[in-house]
Amino acid sequence: MENNRWIKRPEGSNWGDFGPDDQIGRLNFITPDVVRLAAAEVREGLSFCLSLPLDFPGGNRLNARRHPPKFSPTMGEGVAYYNYQVAHTSPGHTDVISDDAVVLHTQYSTQWDSFAHVGQMFDANDDGFAESVYYNGYRAGMHILSALDETGRGMGAKKLGIETMAVKAIQSRGVLLDLFQLCGRDRYFVGYDDFMRAMEMDKVEVCRGDILCLYTGFGDLIMEMNGDPDAVKLHNSCAVLDGRDEHLLRWISDSGISALVADNYAVEGLPANSGNLPCASAPLHEHCLFKLGIPLGELWYLGDLARWLRSKARSRFMLTAPPLRLTGAVGSPLTPVATV
């Protein structure tokens, strides 16, 4: 399919299947019928918070580039608006005001990746030269900005920003797959065979439009570290998907899932197992974000939900998980909610 951005598409991709200008990928699978099926999973009226505290894991030992939130009071005429007594400027009034600002790394803690987060070098216009391209052929520089303009406001994604997922108002049926029961807290690369074994153990089934959530126990480990993580444990614990397993990638393609979520750092194991160069360093990210338009959720907290579902021999629930409507952002913190 030819449009103004690309002539050829990557092998195994769905570029153009939802239209040449699509920006939400397989979130298109979340139809009103899918949402109604999700609502049918609400039987007890119980809700579970699926977010870590957004200042966890703590420090920058998990990713050196990402840091915890930094708070400061808003300022007015040199006055910090923390515990500010309105009577100072408006005598006789009894109000006390606190008002703050925060510098937030959008992918520090519980997060969604947008499709602007990871692209690939790919010859989309078939001129013999690879260039930086993102899902559905959107190009770096043209659609995914790479530099500030003179006002300091130019950085961000003109296309594929996280706000497209926010407008979709992500709400679908969640399905939990318990990899912790299979792997424990050992660092283990889960390929297709182990993945299928985990699904068979708990009789887990997924349908078109479902959001698949992988429980590995990593979120529990982070909570136990209480903001002072052990770097060795962070990088050597709990299950991760083997992004080099082609059979597993084909299953993701064929499954019809609209999004893929895990309580671990990156859903897949990084660094990935070696591949034949040239290749992606994060092959599952390439497959999901770049080729198929499947959002990835990382560092969610699934422990309480997983234990409750196991106690009831259930795996399905209603999941509400919109990101911030932050125009141009390539990722977003969120507070997902599971309702059972």
CATH of the domain at 268: 3.50.30.50
49-66: per-residue pLDDT in tens?
A: 999 999 999 999 999 999
75-89: per-residue pLDDT in tens?
A: 998 999 999 999 999
Cα separation of 293 and 27, whole Å? 8
Domain count, the chain: 1
Q: Are strands 120-122 and 171-178 parallel, antiparallel or unpaired?
A: unpaired
Cα separation of 174 and 314, whole Å? 11
Q: Is residue 170 part of a domain?
A: yes
How high is the pLDDT of residue 232?
A: 95
Mean per-residue pLDDT of the chain: 94
Q: Is residue 81 part of a domain?
A: no
Q: Is residue 73 part of a domain?
A: no
Q: Which domain holds residue 45?
A: 25-62+106-339
Q: Is residue 78 part of a domain?
A: no
Average pLDDT value for residue range 87-107: 95
Cα separation of 84 and 336, whole Å? 33
Assess contact for 301 and 188: CB atoms under 8 A.
no
- What predicted TM-score, i.e. pTM, was given to this entire model? 0.94
191-239: per-residue pLDDT in tens?
A: 999 999 999 999 999 999 999 999 999 999 999 999 999 999 999 999 9
Q: Is residue 150 part of a domain?
A: yes
Q: Is residue 70 part of a domain?
A: no
Residue with tokens 């895990």: 262
- CB neighbours (10 Å) of residue 159? 21
Q: Are strands 84-85 and 96-97 parallel, antiparallel or unpaired?
A: antiparallel
In a 13 Å sphere around the CA of 86, the CA atoms on its Cβ side amount to 9
Q: Is residue 299 part of a domain?
A: yes
Residue 2 has pLDDT above 50, yes or no: no
260-308: per-residue pLDDT in tens?
A: 999 999 999 999 999 999 999 999 999 999 999 999 999 999 999 999 9
